[in-house]
Chain A
Amino acid sequence: MMFKPSSPLLSGLLWKIPWRMSRPQKARQRERLRAVDRVVDTVSAALERNGFQAKAVERWYQEMPREEEMLPKDKYTIFDKKEKKYRKGIHKLPKWTRVSQRVNPPGF
């Protein structure tokens, strides 16, 4: 059968984002976090070798945890004041595959 009736197809605008991420989604999220770490490491090593310093790089190392240092809670969920228990899946964040979201507001 070509047409499979489902609620998003039968009614108009109905997109549903599942409340939690799937296992491959989480694996890809970890891969992306590691890719960002790799970029920062490369930039920092290159600067050091040439005797330079950059504020943005130093600040990243001071403030941001690496992928392996992060808790699963911080890798896959994000703080939201409107949510029960103040957490929601990071896949609800707009452009979540292209932004760095690693730390929580103080106290959360």
Chain B
Amino acid sequence: MSYFRITLVRSAIGLPRRSNDVLKALGLKKRMATVFHPVSPSIAGQIMKVKELVQVQEVDRSLTKQEVHLERKPDPGYYVEKTSGVEFKETTSL
């Protein structure tokens, strides 16, 4: 089973009540919010109602909110050095 990854890129301010309600039903409350829904005809119909406002991808699994957030996390710019013994233990145990 695959999922729709739906991101709201344009706001529905000033649009008919119907499109605002569809976004609410999909769980999109603010711009750049991302939600995952299983691929089904009813979700497809909802996406078609707001197709001008969203970006859609088909993905294999649904990510949690935290995983979506971590995708955008920048590289910290440093790494913590370890002794070779600790590093060897970590790599071999995995």
Contacts and interface: CB of A to CB of B under 8 A. Distances in A.
A43 B48 contact: yes
Contact of B15 (A47, A53, A95): A95
Contacts, number: 66
Given A46-B2, A46-B58, A56 B44 contact: yes
Query: What bracket does the count of chain A residues touching chain B fall in?
Result: 20 to 34
B32 interface: no
B23 interface: no
B40 interface: yes
B21 interface: no
B23 to A, nearest CB: 12
Binding site secondary structure of chain A: helix
Contacts of A27: none
A53 to B, nearest CB: 7
B45 A40 contact: no
Given A40-B48, A43-B47, A53-B41, A95 B58 contact: no
B14 to A, nearest CB: 6
Interface of B: 1-2, 4, 10, 12, 14-15, 39-41, 44-45, 47-49, 51-58
Interface of A: 32, 35-36, 39-40, 42-43, 45-47, 49-50, 52-57, 60, 95, 97-100
